[in-house]
Amino acid sequence: MRSSAALPRFTSLLCLLFLPPVLSSSSQPRWVLQRVPVVLPQQTEARPAPRFLHPARLDVTSLCDPECHKKAPPPSYWDLRSLLAYETLHSDGQLTETAVGIYGYKPGLDASPAYGSPRSRSKRQIFGHDGRFSIAGQDFLLKYPFSVAVKLSTGCSGTLVGDRHVLTAAHCVHDGKNYVKGAQKLRVGFLKPKRDAQHSPVYLPANFTNQVEGGPGPYAPPINDRMKFQWIRAKRTHVPKGWLKGNANDIGMDYDYALLELKKPHKRRHMKLGVSPPAQKLPGRRVHFSGFDNDRPGRLVYRFCRAGEETSDLLYQHCDAQPGASGSGVYARMWDGRRRRWERKVIGVFSGHQWVERQGASQEFNVAVRITPLKYAQICYWIKGNFVDCREG
Beta-carbon contacts of residue 39 (< 8 Å; ≥ 6 apart): 84, 100, 101, 102, 374, 377, 378, 381, 387
Give CA–CA dist 273/287, Å, rounded.
Answer: 14
Q: Which residue, among 352, 365, 374, has the nearest Cα to 169 in the 3D structure?
A: 352
Rounded-to-integer distance, Cα 163 and Cα 149, Å: 14
Return the CA Rg of the chain. Answer: 21
d(CA 139, CA 133): 15
Domains delineated in the chain: 41-195+219-390 (2.40.10.10)
Gap between the terminal Cα atoms of the chain: 30
Give the DSSP per-residue string, 112-125.
----S------SSS
Q: What is the DSSP letter of 381?
A: H
Mark whether 250 is an active-site residue.
yes
Catalytic residue, chosen from 112, 276, 326, 351, is 326
Catalytic site residue from 165, 171, 266, 288: 171
Query: What is residue 310's three-state secondary structure?
Result: strand
326 catalytic residue (yes or no)? yes
Model's pTM, two decimal places?
0.83
Q: Which of 139, 163, 250, 336 is catalytic?
A: 250
Q: What is the pLDDT along the chain (393 residues), one digit of tens a residue?
A: 434 444 343 333 333 333 333 334 446 788 988 889 999 999 999 999 998 988 988 777 666 777 777 777 888 999 999 999 999 999 999 999 999 999 998 766 554 443 333 333 333 455 556 667 888 777 788 899 999 999 999 999 999 999 999 999 999 999 988 999 999 999 999 998 876 545 444 444 455 555 556 554 455 554 445 678 999 999 999 999 999 875 544 556 899 999 999 999 999 999 999 999 998 899 888 999 999 998 888 889 999 988 888 888 999 887 888 889 999 999 999 998 888 899 999 999 999 876 666 666 666 778 899 999 999 999 999 999 999 999 887
- Whether 320 is a known active-site residue: answer no
d(C-alpha 262, C-alpha 164), whole Å: 5
